[in-house]
Amino acid sequence: MPIVQISRIQHRRGKKTDLPQLAAGELGWSIDDQRLYIGNGTVADGAPAVGNTEIVTGSSSGFTTALQHTYKGYLGDATTITSSVPRALQQRLDEYVSVKDFGAKGDGDTAATIAAATDDTTAIQTAIDELFTATDKVDSNSRRVLFFPAGKYKITAALKIPPYAHLVGEGPEKTIIRNSGATNAVMVTQDNAKNVGASITALVNQIQISNMTLKNSVAYAGVSMDKVNKVYFNNCMFEGSYAQGGPDVANSKGVTVTSSNALQSSHIIFNQCQFTKFARLVDLSHDVTNVRFNDCDFSTSYYGALIGGTLDGTTNGLTVGPRDVQFSGSSWSTIHQQALWSKNASGTVYPRNVISTGNWYAKDVANSNKGIGSIDEVPVIQFDGDECSSVLDFFERTDLRRADGSSHMNAAPELQGIGVTTKAIKQFTLNNNQSTAATINEFPGLNKKGLSVKYKIERNADTRTGEMTISSDGVNISYSDDFVEAGASVGVTLSAILDNKDSTAGNETIKLQYVSTNTGTAATIDYQTTILA
């Protein structure tokens, strides 16, 4: 119908409960809740429905009824999903909350200096507490994801992370939470009563943090997880202020965990995380179980992971130490001392079941900051306690010491202490008619260690399968070769010798060697080595 011009718009006023059905175009003002309505008119006149429509004003209740959202799928209006239910836009938005809803600015990148940036500590902590620890928000419906839009958020005190907290950013080096000058960690954990550290009275459960950088501009921790259970970090960067070549600083820890005898931490998982510029990228001494680092990157530190450094066997929470700590599929570089040290500090108790699997240890690891090939190299991995192992790890430093004699240094041990390392299978061509002993491979620093070489040799149609066992005290060497052959003899004899390349007593290199007969055909050996440290 055509628009009808009227000379006067009628209006009513009163309490919301007394608001009647308004005539078409008639206004109604609800005095008690300060909201404005207009009558729809009749369906016969073209209105979609009889009723009153709220006019959005400053007193409208956050889109609760004024606007609605209906999910329509990835094609939008082109393919409407008829089963989706319209909801108030306020309900839709409340499913996901931003720290900026609580006043955080994240303006550290745009400020002239970090000191001039807005201090977001209170705003962020308020958001965390309101979502996860407020007494009226402890049920699952209230625990929303707290979103951190890209930006640099300056904090001046440790953020306290309670049970069920779920913090999500837009990615490392996009969302950055930076501790600026305060002598504390970037984050610590708290219980529902907001107790922290030794005062925590119940395990802090079910924390998830992802897609952000946690940066400390002073020599303190990235994150301290105190009395926790089921904590998950995904795609996070832990960045400190440690400078390459600097000394060890006990407070500079990328991540650390604490426990008490009554409340032991467990189930802490890091997936695709980066750890850089802390004196100790990982520092675990307290009684903790089931800690996993999967597909992570560790770089620029004094120690990579120091496990059991202050374990004493008597202090509350330090009675048995870390157990079941695993590093898998990760890379390690620019680490001055041991990349992984499971340390026996007390002489009575020590970490157990520390496992390194499929990791890459670069050539600039464990050389005491003296450069690649330094005589001051230390073990890449050191296990002072038992039940520890290295499986299919790659040690680039040792691989550089070629069997062709290009290295003049005794290789420092890859693994030292009580443990076992099993290396990946290699293949080597054994020359025909090799009358003088030639080297197949070299093995570093095997003083008082055992070496087992499982192998298969193929030559023409003949095959030998065997295991060579080598033992050395750094001065003497002995070996045995136990094998079976199918068909005729392959005509290969294996042996082992010590080679003191740089006159450093007690760190001689073991060479696995061979000679071969003249059959007119070379042979191949596939072999896998296991070293008992």
pLDDT at 136 over 80: no
Residue 17 maps to a domain: yes
Q: What percent of the chain has pLDDT over 90?
A: 58
- 130: helix, strand or coil: helix
Query: How many separate domains does the chain show?
Result: 2
Angle subtended at Cα 252 by Cα 249 and Cα 254, rounded to the nearest 5 degrees: 140
Task: Determine contact, residues 226/194, Cβ cutoff 8 Å.
Answer: no
Last residue within a domain, chosen from 60, 78, 96 = 60
User: Could you identify the residue written with the tokens 């059991």?
Assistant: 308
- Band (pLDDT 50/70/90 cuts) for residue 61 is low
Residue 210 maps to a domain: no
pLDDT at 361 over 60: yes
One-character DSSP codes across 266-292: EEEEEES-EEES-SEEEEE-SSEEEEE
Q: What phi and psi, each to the nearest 5 degrees, are found at residue 376?
A: -90, 15
Q: What is the 3-state secondary structure (H, E, C) of 310-365?
A: CCCCCCCCCCCCCEEEEEECCEEEEECCCCEEECCCCCCCCCEEEEEECCEECCCE
Domain that holds residue 524: 426-532
Last residue within a domain, chosen from 21, 38, 60 = 60
Residue 378 maps to a domain: no
Residue 502 maps to a domain: yes
**What CATH number does the domain containing 451 carry?**
2.60.40.1680
Residue 500 maps to a domain: yes
Nearest to 352 by CA among 434, 265, 288, 268: 288
Pair of tokens at residue 38: 């207009």
Which of 335 and 408 is assigned the larger pLDDT?
335
Residue 407 maps to a domain: no
pTM tops 0.85: no
Residue 178 maps to a domain: no
Residue 342 maps to a domain: no
| Mean pLDDT along residues 31-49 | 84
pLDDT tens digits, 458-494: 999 999 999 999 998 878 889 999 999 998 999 999 9
Give CA–CA dist 531/23, Å, rounded.
91
Last residue within a domain, chosen from 21, 42, 60 = 60
